[in-house]
Amino acid sequence: QEVDEGDIELYKAYCSFFQHFFPIITIAVFFAAAVVLGITLWVIPGVLAFSLFCLFPCGVLMEGKWKQGIKNVWNIGWEQLFRIMMIHSVFVLVLMLVGQSILYCGSLLSLGVYSTALLMALTTSLLIPLFTFVQAYYYLEWTDLQNFNV
């Protein structure tokens, strides 16, 4: 707002929140419920639900409209399903390797349990944004979006 108009207004900030982030939060709740239900029933439906809708935040933010974002994410999810699953598999593998190496080094250095757990949490919190950037990159590549408005 400050760049566009020069003033920051609370009303416009709330409008921006409800336009961009409220649909993400709402769909995230349904998305989490579908993944938990799918994993509870059987592992494959949960992984399928996760793979289909993991790009939803990118779709909403980059398309600007949440209904169009859902349609695009649904179509891309089915078209690129195995690629998305491979990206997630690689990311889970990297997280597991990093976690195990931190546990191993922590035990060799005789770090305490709390120090090792804190180090693992910090490392994971630094790797997850990297995964988010990778997802956004592939979303842009798969949709051929050149520029987008946030």
Q: Quick one: pLDDT at residue 93?
A: 92
User: Which residue bears the tokens 């707002």?
Assistant: 1
Q: What angle do CA 89, 118, 128 make, to 5 degrees?
A: 30
Q: What is the mean pLDDT of residues 23-50?
A: 74
- Tens-place pLDDT, residues 42-86: 777 777 777 777 777 777 777 767 777 778 888 888 888 888 888
pLDDT interval class at 148 (50, 70, 90)? low
- What does pTM read for this prediction? 0.64
